[in-house]
Amino acid sequence: MSLSSQSGTGGPFRGQAVLLLQEALVIFVFTVVVGILNGTDLVDFGRKTLLTHVHGGTLGWITLSVFAASLLLFGEGHRPGPAEVRAVRGLTALALVAIPAFVATFFLTFGEARPFFGSFALLAIAGFLAWMLVRARGMAMTAPHWGFLVAMGTSVAGGVVGVLLGYEIATGRNVLPSGGEDAHPGTMVVGFLIPVGMALSEWCFKWPRPDPARRLGTIQMVFPFLGGLVLLFSLLLDITPLAPVAALLELVGVGIFVWRMWPAFRRVDWLARGAAPFAAASAIATLANILLIQYLVGRYAGDFDKVPDHELLALDHTMFIGVMTNAIFGLVFSATNTANVRWPSLDRVVFWGTNLGLAVFSAGLLVDVTAMKRVATPVMGASILLGLALYSVRFAGERFGSRVPAMVPEGVSAGGGS
């Protein structure tokens, strides 16, 4: 049974999805290389390069991949008309140009080019959200569908704050309350990445078509959406007591997700080749991330300005690598896997190298032991680079959309949940 005949596996927009994923893979190479050099203390990068490193990961890697995934997930169902096809092609072209251009501005300037190009990146995010909302009408919604919608909605809100923050930095004019600098990254990490990470993880478990959303699946996505909005106002308006409320809302949503996916977690063969280990690792990292947020909120009374940089870096990398990179690798594995795929054993190397390296790296940051970070960084970075090269070759050598679904090893079910 080919993927082209299955919902959630390609549909009419699979060509645009491939272009977005391929560009995401290329941009992430820069991010990872800078991370290796910085994490091993071989190069002391300036602020512009580090900001490019961060935004290359969050926008170039994660957001472009989310755009691609949305085309695959929402592209199924009713056949698009010519106007919709043109609109999707236009949105894809906008994203392919605006996102890397915006990322490049962090390397080149602190000036008005940032909010200028950021506005076009924000337009692409809003455009994809609008398209998903239109497609959702009459569609059989699943928990991943709801996760993408609430995540992209929060991304638009966080993006508006980000563009205004860039304008404030460039011009010196105060257009945001004093907490604006923290509100942008905090909202994007909590309100955007947590629900979309859960959505991608569940989709990998349920590949190629997630189960219809039941009440728990929908509620699961509502809580992190509300948590993201509460955190946005908490940081933007400097209302510190709201931060624990936001963290609690996130914890409830993640708890429901773990409860629903528990049957799938129990069936994962961690030594086997497949997308299930990536999906499970993403889910574990999601839980670890929200527990770490709870710990930091409690220890520092909700004031993230007091959190040491090394603990914030542990939090960020648990999210960016543990949650999102695992989830995206699981998705790309599912979408490119065939019976005669090249170098199948390397998938295990990518998985274990990335996750063992991340575990030691994050632990080193939390306990502030530089040696652990220096040892783990090249292991984690090289494994991610191997994955990027491996999946790039598979994209180049295979026609996307004519796949045999092989999310987990033969004979192992990845289903579960309600």
| Residue with tokens 């930091």, as numbered in its chain | 296
* DSSP string covering 149-214: HHHHHHHHHHHHHHHHHHHHHHH----S-TTHHHHHHHHIIIIIIHHHHHHHHHHHHTTTSPPBP-
- Identify whether the C-beta of residue 60 lies closer than 8 Å to the C-beta of residue 27: yes
Tens-digit pLDDT profile for residues 72-130: 999 887 788 999 999 999 999 999 999 999 999 999 988 999 999 999 999 999 999 99
For residue 303, what pLDDT band results from cuts at 50, 70 and 90?
confident
Whether 397 shows a pLDDT value over 80: the answer reads no
- Identify whether the C-beta of residue 285 lies closer than 8 Å to the C-beta of residue 318: yes
- Domain membership flag for residue 313: yes
Range of the domain at 99: 3-397
**Mean pLDDT in residue range 271-275:** 91
- Domain membership flag for residue 244: yes
Q: Is 322 helix (H, G, I), strand (E, B) or coil?
A: helix
For residue 10, what pLDDT band results from cuts at 50, 70 and 90?
low
- Identify whether the C-beta of residue 238 lies closer than 8 Å to the C-beta of residue 177: yes
> 87 burial class (0-12, 13-18, 19+ CB within 10 angstroms)?
middle
CATH of the domain at 338: 1.20.210.10
What per-residue string of b and e applies to 174-195 under the rule 16 or more CB within 10 Å gives b?
A: eebeebbbbbbbbbbbbbbbbb
For residue 324, what pLDDT band results from cuts at 50, 70 and 90?
very high
Tens-digit pLDDT profile for residues 126-160: 999 999 999 998 788 999 999 999 999 999 999 99
Long-range contacts of residues 173-179, Cβ cutoff 8 Å, at least 24 apart: 176/236, 177/236, 177/237, 177/238, 178/238, 179/235, 179/236, 179/237, 179/238
**Mean pLDDT in residue range 235-251:** 87
Total domain count for the chain?
Answer: 1
Alpha-carbon distance values, 282 to 35, 297, 401, 407 (Å): 20, 22, 24, 15
- Domain membership flag for residue 413: no
Tens-digit pLDDT profile for residues 338-394: 656 778 889 999 999 999 999 999 999 999 999 999 999 999 999 999 999 999 888
Q: Specify the amino acid at residue 227.
A: G
- Domain membership flag for residue 416: no
CA-nearest of 179, 164, 321, 197 to 242 is 179
